[in-house]
Amino acid sequence: MSVLIVSIISTAVLYAVSVLYAAIGEIFSQKAGVMNLGLEGIMLMGAVSGYLVAVHQKNLALALIVVILVGAALGLVFAFVTVTLQADQTVAGMAMLTFGTGLSGFIGNSVAGVNANLAFQSFEIPLLCKIPIIGPSLFDQNILVYAMYIIVPVSMIYIYKTRPGMILRALGENPATLDSAGYNVFALRYGYVIFGSAMTAVSGACVSLAYTNFWSDNMTSGKGWIAVALVVFASWNPVIAVFGALLFGAISVIGVDIQMVSSTLPSQFYSALPYVATIIALIFTTGNFRKKRSAAPAALCIPYDREER
């Protein structure tokens, strides 16, 4: 039984991390007031660029660097369109999604079906991996997972306990105040959008270089949308995002386990469970039952325009 629990947790963690990079990146971006719905497209671009480097250069570190740069570049474009040109963010996101999907398929043609044979391997952390249950499930993973263990608490501290974090929150709540105080709202937003986009690209690399090791057209299969949903579900809080991602991953795996044991309900029912769970959880965590303030950054999706003050 404990073996089963360890397995469920470790699969859930592996899945969760591949979504969390994008989700946490998007949390930063949305806290700064910019919503990027095109995560799927950026993820695919990250996946394909990382894989291309792995196949041609055989170097994982280089692949990761390229992935981050590609993500940053896409983020730059997105920031330009939404922050400087003040375009509608929902649609800009859809544009990024379509464009990223198409472009990744285009350039990925040369490596589809080619085996890079190069992925982030999992390794145990001595001592910690001996802790019952937690040990083997959390501390026998690959480096991208371990990095996430650090990124999450650092993000929390940054957002809620530091001065730059306070500025970040202000960016998304009331950019006009920041502007009058002399901060460059545009540059800051650019920075966070680029960061978010780079993180999202790493999510993509998780899929082609860690979780599985290959490239195929559209291989992220909707993960970008899950990341978007996760951000709202988590009320823009990285720690809650972690729980949400783990929940989603765990329910998916458990769904298959149950389906194998009992066949009273159709298998599609169990496949649908994670989504149903997300809806229910979403209503209860973000629902405004007592007219309290919504957790959403007040200036989310509203381009900052000096003349509008």
Partner 1 sequence: MKKKLLSIILAAALAVSCLAGCGNAANDSSKGSADNEKQTGGATAVSDLKIGEIESYVINDGGWCQATHTGLVNAMEECGIPEENLLTLENIAEDQASVQAAAEQLIDEGCDIIIGASTGYSGYLSDMAADYPDVTFAQWGTETDGLVAYELRSYEAMFVAGYVCELMSQDENTKLGFSASMDEFSVRTAINSYALGAKYANPKATVQVACADTWYDPDKETQCAKSLIDAGIKYMGMEATSPAVAQTCEANGAYCVGYHVDMSQYAPDAVLFSFTWNFAPIFKQIFEDKAAGGEMKSLYYEGGECAQLTEFSDLVPEDIQQKGNELKEKIASGEVQVYAGPLSDDKGNELVAEGQVMDDATILLQDFYVSNVDCAWSK
Partner 2 sequence: MHKFRVQKRTEVSMTRKILNPIVFVLFALVFCGIFLAVLKFNPLEVYGKMLEEIFSVRGVQKSVVAGLPLMFTGLAVAFGYRMNLNNIGADGQYAMGSILCIWFALYGPDMPAVPKLIIMFVLAAAGGAFISLLAAIPRAFWNVSETILTMMLNYIVLLFLNFLMYGPWKEEGQMVAQTARTDERYWLPDIGNTGINSIVIIAVIMAVAIYFFHKKTSKGYQMEVIRRGPAAAKYAGMNVKANIIFVLGISGAIAGLAGFAQVGGIIHRVQADLPNGAGYTGIVIAYLAGLNPLVVLIVGFLFGALQISAVAVQITGVPSQIATMIQGSIMLFVIAGEFFKRYKITRQNSQPSLPEKATEDPKKEIPVQEGGAE
What's phi and psi for 140, nearest 5 deg? -130, 65
Which residues, 6 or more positions from 68, have their beta carbon under 8 angstroms from its beta carbon? 198, 201, 202
- Identify whether the C-beta of residue 10 lies closer than 8 Å to the C-beta of residue 137: yes
Instruction: For the CB of residue 176, give the shortest distance to partner 1 in the complex, in Å.
Output: 39
The site for partner 2 (CB under 8 A) is made up of: 41, 77, 80-81, 84-88, 90-92, 94-103, 105-106, 109, 217, 222, 225, 228-229, 232-233, 266, 268-269, 271-272, 275-276, 278-279, 282-283, 286-289, 294, 303, 305, 307-308
For the chain, the first-to-last Cα distance in angstroms comes to: 61
Q: Which of partner 2, partner 1, none interacts with 81 (beta carbon under 5 to 8 A by kind)?
A: partner 2
Q: Is the Cβ of residue 13 or residue 232 nearer to partner 2 in the bound state?
A: 232
Q: What is the DSSP letter of 86?
A: -
* C-alpha dist (Å) from residue 18 to 40, 180, 261: 12, 39, 28
Q: Which of partner 1, partner 2, none interacts with 213 (beta carbon under 5 to 8 A by kind)?
A: partner 1
- Residue 190 is encoded by which pair of tokens? 């650019």
Q: Which of partner 1, partner 2, none interacts with 154 (beta carbon under 5 to 8 A by kind)?
A: none
The site for partner 1 (CB under 8 A) is made up of: 3-4, 7-8, 11, 15, 105, 109, 112-113, 115, 117, 122, 207, 211-214, 216-217, 219, 221, 223, 252-253, 256-257, 259-260, 263, 266-268, 270-271
Degrees (nearest 5) of the Cα angle 202, 95, 144? 5
Instruction: For the CB of residue 112, give the shortest distance to partner 1 in the complex, in Å.
Output: 4
